[in-house]
Amino acid sequence: MSPRRIRVVAALLRDPSDASRYLVQQRLPGASRANQWEFPGGKVEPGESDAQAVVRECREELGIEVTAGRRLWGSEHAYPDLLVELELWSAALVSGTPTPLDAQALRFCTPDEMRGLDLCEADVPLVEALRRGLGA
Structural domains of the chain in order of their starting residue, each with its CATH number? 4-131 (3.90.79.10)
Question: What pLDDT does 80 receive?
Answer: 87
- Residue-level pLDDT at 31: 81
What's residue 1's pLDDT?
A: 66
Kindly report the pTM of this predicted structure: 0.94
- Walk along the chain (136 residues) and give the pLDDT tens digit of each residue: 677 999 999 999 999 999 999 999 999 998 889 999 999 999 999 999 999 999 999 999 999 999 999 999 999 999 988 999 999 999 999 999 999 999 999 999 999 999 999 999 999 999 999 999 886 6
- Identify the three-state secondary structure at position 48: coil
pLDDT at 97: 97
